[in-house]
Structure 1
Amino acid sequence: MKRILSALLCSSLLLLSACGSGSKEAGGSKEEKETVKIGITQLVEHPSLDAAREGFIAALKDAGYEEGKNLKLDYQNAQGDMNNNMTIAQNLVTDDNDLILAIATASAQAAVQSTKEIPILFTAITDPVGAELVESFEKPGGNVTGTSDTHPDAIKNTMNTIKRFFPDAKKVGMIYNSGEPNSVVNVENAKKALKELGLEAVETTISASSEVKQAAESLVGRADVFYIPKDNTVVSALESVITVANEKDIPTFVGESDSVKRGTFASYGFEYHDLGYTTGKMAVEILEGKKPSEIPVGFPESLELVINKAAAEQEGITLTEEMLKDAKIVGE
């Protein structure tokens, strides 16, 4: 009898143990994410690129990947140094990250040159096809995909707005780093749009952020309006342009809305945080089994005219009802 009771007791304990183990497996492993490592390489610090990075991390957190718990992030900034940029990419590959986020074109190119195996996502890229990061927007190919920050109508809308707001303007001054492929593409598109409007582009190039103020000063008297494209080198020293524009009452248009918030007059733009968030959602898909080649390149779905009221006053611009009627206003 004792032996029967003992056997029954053991059977019961085994059954309970099995049930308990099954519950943990069903509930725990599905809810808890496996720890992943993500390396982030960013060319230079400025608000737009920073916002894209923050949006990326926010999307991961919303999907259950949280730094300090099941997410290890290695964020490195090249501070605009191309040699440092390549070293960072190589180090992130050597460190066996599960995924690499590259912010800005040069960072993405360095990452792509460093690995054909680790999944790479890019964001804040003007022309990923021209930069030879992907084969096409629809079918990226390889181990790379991400989000472009160039809406097809952004530059054209901005040039049309210059013509509409300042009909007496004849020349548009542009400052950019000719070593940044994204900037060259933006400037070429701007020049094409300006030519169609009967406006002249006046260009000046720089190679370092320390040259930006002098470049802006060189355009005084030669340009009626400034246009600063999405150029990482120039935008990182944007306050230098703003100082000259304010002193000389020159309206300043830019390639993205974060620069409007910093003190320029206007742009057709979007929120880089949202762009980064979209990239973060792509990362979740990849971490959970999808291949980068299966995810089309994304870009901003909508644009809005953003005007900085305080900057308008500083640049000597009299705001009209027409200017304000369809605009998002900042700097009040």
Structure 2
Amino acid sequence: MKRREFITLLGSTAAAWPVASRAQRRKPNPRVGVLWHAADAKQEEEYLVVLTKAFQELGYFDGKNIELEHRFPAEQPERFRTMAQELAEGKVDVIVAVTGLGAREAKRATSTIPIVLVADPDPVGRGLVESLARPGGNVTGLSLMTVDLSGKRLALFKEIVPKLSRLALVLDPREPSSKPTAIANERAGRAAGCLIKVFEVTTADEIDPAFSVIARESFDGAFAVGPPMYNERVQVGASAMAHKVPTIASNAE
């Protein structure tokens, strides 16, 4: 081989090395499936922005070095199941489940993909994890401790409303955590000498009428429980103020 040909070949091969090397190193971006609870990105805007910002603070930018795949089930159980299956079958690298219902359906859909639960009132009682200290399985995350803190929450409420002797529990009976939450609050109420009555609400239109009855029946306060009340927090707050009912909830929003 002539010297000129060798140099030309070496130069062209060397030029190709970085490209080939980059091609070998290039891997698909990690894919994170996010199973929300509301109906669309607009309803989740406040928290979607927080989630995106949190990833960015860790060095992950959507579309650049990570892919966020959002699903919005609109609080419909069958949509939670369908969307969890979609994410599992799509083999995302991890699933972020915003609610316990989402985590339950994600866990049902896969036993291998890691699932991060944003918050649930009672993840142990609902069988999502073995214990708070040792979750086990493929689910981890945070607990709102709604059931565990029933007595403490009632005690704090009584500090704000000293005359508290009748408390209205406003909840959606379809929410899995509603029953254990009601039982725990009734138990705490008996210990504190406070009558607890459940008011069932299944749609946003039923919130204001429920608070109207609570006020008319002279309840001393209300406890808004669970994701449905959380989703309709603006309406809950407006109704509580309109009917002058002191109200507590399990989360600050």
Task: Please give the TM-score of this superposition, normalised by the length of structure 1.
Answer: 0.63
Partner SS, residue 257 of structure 1: coil
Name 2:109's counterpart in structure 1: 114
Which of 196, 221, 225 is 1:225 aligned to? Answer: 221
**Distance change >3 Å, CA 204–CA 44, structure 1 → 2:** same
**Distance change >3 Å, CA 54–CA 196, structure 1 → 2:** farther
- How big is the shift at 1:33? 8.4
Whole-angstrom CA distance in 2 between matches of 1:161 and 1:111: 35
- How big is the shift at 1:119? 1.6
Contact 1:41-1:88 within 8 A present in 2 as well: yes
- How big is the shift at 1:69? 0.3
Name 1:85's counterpart in structure 2: 80
Q: Does 1:245 align with 2:235?
A: no
**Distance change >3 Å, CA 63–CA 206, structure 1 → 2:** same
Partner SS, residue 212 of structure 2: helix
Q: Does 1:100 align with 2:95?
A: yes
- How big is the shift at 1:153? 6.9
Which of 36, 57, 60 is 1:65 aligned to? Answer: 60
**Distance change >3 Å, CA 170–CA 243, structure 1 → 2:** same
Which of 106, 117, 125 is 2:120 aligned to? Answer: 125
Partner SS, residue 227 of structure 1: strand
Q: Does 1:37 align with 2:31?
A: yes
Paired amino acid for 1:184: K
Name 1:297's counterpart in structure 2: none
Contact 1:210-1:237 within 8 A present in 2 as well: no
Partner SS, residue 211 of structure 2: helix
Which of 137, 145, 153 is 1:142 aligned to? Answer: 137
Q: Does 1:159 align with 2:154?
A: yes
Paired amino acid for 1:224: D
Which of 169, 192, 195 is 2:190 aligned to? Answer: 195
Paired amino acid for 1:225: G
Paired amino acid for 1:69: K
Task: Please give the TM-score of this superposition, normalised by the length of structure 2.
Answer: 0.80
Contact 2:62-2:68 within 8 A present in 1 as well: yes
Contact 2:167-2:196 within 8 A present in 1 as well: yes
- How big is the shift at 1:49? 7.1
- How big is the shift at 1:104? 0.6
Paired amino acid for 2:178: S
Q: CA RMSD in A?
A: 3.4
Aligned length: 246
Contact 1:52-1:124 within 8 A present in 2 as well: no
Which of 210, 213, 234 is 1:215 aligned to? Answer: 210
> What is the percentage of aligned positions where both structures have the same residue?
23
Which of 178, 184, 208 is 2:179 aligned to? Answer: 184
Whole-angstrom CA distance in 2 between matches of 1:218 and 1:117: 48
Contact 1:39-1:74 within 8 A present in 2 as well: yes
Whole-angstrom CA distance in 2 between matches of 1:173 and 1:211: 15
Greater RCO (CA < 8 Å, at least 6 residues apart): 1
**Unpaired segments of 5 or more residues in structure 1?**
259-332
**Unpaired segments of 5 or more residues in structure 2?**
none
